[in-house]
């Protein structure tokens, strides 16, 4: 990718990241997925843990928002331990993911 997240088309490249939020009751984790071209937030989830379901819920929201997806969307993430890199997410579309 060479850090080029705008591939010139919607739904070609999505980026994902997790932000740690300190609260008075402990830590919360905000995961977001953005489209590389429009930079629009497509999905997000907040949990009190760093498990893969946080990322899966975020990607599921993005897929539900963008119903007209190509066969392949590149999902760029930092590959932290909580990111299901190179793992099929079990979602109906798109059919291929890269992390």
Give the bridge partners for 44, in sequence order: 32
For tokens 């997240």, the residue is 5
Sign of CA dihedral 52, 57, 60, 62: negative
Residue 76: closest CA among 85, 88, 63: 85
**Average pLDDT of the chain, as a whole number:** 77
Confidence of residue 84 (pLDDT cuts 50, 70, 90): low
Helix or strand (DSSP H, E) at 31: strand 26-35
Give the bridge partners for 13, in sequence order: 74
Instruction: For residue 22, give Cα distances in angstroms to 2, 32, 56, 93.
Output: 32, 17, 22, 34
- pLDDT tens, residue by residue, 14-58: 888 899 999 999 999 999 999 888 889 999 999 999 888 888 899
């Amino acid at each position: 990718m060479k850090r080029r997240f705008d591939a010139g088309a919607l739904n070609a490249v999505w980026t994902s990241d997790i932000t740690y939020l300190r609260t008075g009751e402990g830590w919360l984790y905000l995961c977001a997925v953005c489209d590389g071209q429009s930079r629009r937030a497509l999905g997000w989830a907040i949990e009190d843990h760093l498990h893969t379901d946080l990322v899966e819920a975020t990607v599921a929201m993005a897929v539900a928002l963008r119903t007209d997806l190509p066969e392949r969307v590149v999902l760029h993430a930092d590959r932290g331990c909580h990111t299901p890199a190179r793992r099929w997410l079990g979602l109906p579309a798109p059919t291929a993911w890269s992390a």
